Amino acid sequence: MDSLILASASPRRHDLLSSLGLSFIIEANDGEERQDQVPSAIVELLPAFDLGLANHPTLLAWRKAQAARETGSSAAILAADTIVVIDSLILGKPRDPAHAYELLRRLAGRWHTVYTGVVVLPAASDQPLCELAAAQVRLSPLSDAEIWDYIATGEPMDKAGAYGVQGIGGRLVEEVQGSFTTVVGLPLPTTASLLTQAGIYVPYSVEQAWQRWRATLAKEPLCMQQSKC
């Protein structure tokens, strides 16, 4: 029987979880889109977040994990959700290239916050372990031509905030304060801690996993020297 399920189709989360040396299966779902009422016991477990319950990244992660549990599996389940926030506005994935331009124009030359909520449901349990990680990111000032050149690569279209810090978009990033892997979508320190609490042995340390993951990248984003795992 598989001991761990990753409730996400994100290849970035897959790669980061793999870097910890874990075996797992992927069971993606659309649980974060559910609108059913959240049990008060779950709400009480959520970390503090200022932008409302509906947008809480840890709650969205819990919805994914719970949807995976409802398929009948008794394995431990890991889920995560990432949002980008600037001026108290949540920037999701762009609808089209014009929307991607709007998002990147808003972010260019400024600091913003990336939140990633992480939830682990231990094996045969519906009692979640919940955390919320945050990192501050500053994009370089960008010309319109630079923004459109980046959009033309196609990379922004499935990324919250319309950029991927671990890919070509890393060239647009001036600095990261906090966990770099929070910005990618699965904070390694938080993930390793929750999995350990859930009774799952994590073969590699966070630092080892960070180095293993970095080695898989074709090109290192420029800001990696200014951040930590």
Catalytic annotation, residues: 81
Q: How far apart are CA 194 and CA 127, in angstroms?
A: 12
Whether the CB-CB separation of 146 and 60 falls below 8 Å is answered with no
229 residues of the chain, pLDDT tens digit each: 458 999 999 999 999 999 999 999 999 998 788 888 999 999 999 999 999 999 999 999 999 999 999 998 899 999 999 999 999 999 989 999 999 999 999 999 999 999 999 999 999 898 999 999 999 999 999 999 999 999 999 999 999 999 999 999 999 999 999 999 999 999 999 999 999 999 999 999 999 999 999 988 865 554 554 567 8
Could you give the C-alpha distances from 95 to 46, 88, 99, in angstroms and in order? 29, 20, 6
CB-based contact 113:83 (threshold 8 Å): no
No. of helices (H) and no. of strands (E), the chain: 8, 7
Domain that holds residue 127: 4-226
Q: How many domains does the chain have?
A: 1
Question: For residue 167, which of 100, 112, 216 has the smallest C-alpha distance?
Answer: 216
Do residues 157 and 208 touch, judged by C-beta distance below 8 A?
Answer: no
Structure tokens at 210: 């960070």
Phi, psi (deg, nearest 5) at residue 53: -65, -40
pTM of the entire predicted model? 0.93
- Domain containing residue 35: CATH number: 3.90.950.10
